Amino acid sequence: MFAALVPPDEVLDEIAQAIAPHVGQVPGLRWPDRATWHITLGFFGEVPESVLPELETRLARAVHRHSTLDLAFQSFGGFSSARRARVFWVGLTGDPVTRLADSVRAGARRAGAVQTDEKRFHAHLTLARAKTETDLRPLVEALTDFSGSPWRAEAVHLVRSHTPSRTRPEMRYESLAEWSLAPSARS
């Protein structure tokens, strides 16, 4: 399970259009289905059903303490670096997302959800993955002029992932709950 922001379709359309000429052009990059695109705020791993009610309560409290966020996608990159990447991503500009992510992660810890990802938070949307380190500098440079339209993040989703199986070969996400961020003073 994980908590995430889900950008609006029209904003994802811009990213899809920008990367379309490059999809399938970099050997070794796997491009997940656009339906799985999201900005992870906290990854919780396997969450026992007995913990789920407390997790939902704690996440609701955490989310309601934060205002809506004005964001835009800008700048592509790779983890751990564009030269030695296993993940190709697009980053965010605008209101800082880190405080919201920290609150979500703290709420999950208090609820007893085991977190497997304790890396420093970096707000991004993952677009592709590679099994081995790949030099993505040419791809990042080709997309250097991209600047997405502004959008407002208004809700946080609790999502359960269903891993691929023989009967269903694609990754699938199920939204279990959604909480609205508080209205912003800028609204």
Active site residues: 38, 124
Per the CB < 8 A criterion, the answer to whether 55 and 158 are in contact is: yes
User: Rounded distance, CA 47 to CA 34, Å?
Assistant: 25
Please name the helix (run of DSSP H) or strand (run of DSSP E) that holds residue 177, with its range, or none: strand 172-180
Cα-trace Rg, the chain: 17
- Cα 132 to chain centroid distance, Å, stands at 21
Q: Which residues contact 183 (CB under 8 A, 6 or more apart)?
A: 67, 68
User: Rounded distance, CA 41 to CA 55, Å?
Assistant: 14
Per the CB < 8 A criterion, the answer to whether 3 and 42 are in contact is: yes
User: Rounded distance, CA 36 to CA 163, Å?
Assistant: 12
- The phi and psi torsions of 62 (rounded to 5 degrees) equal -60, -45
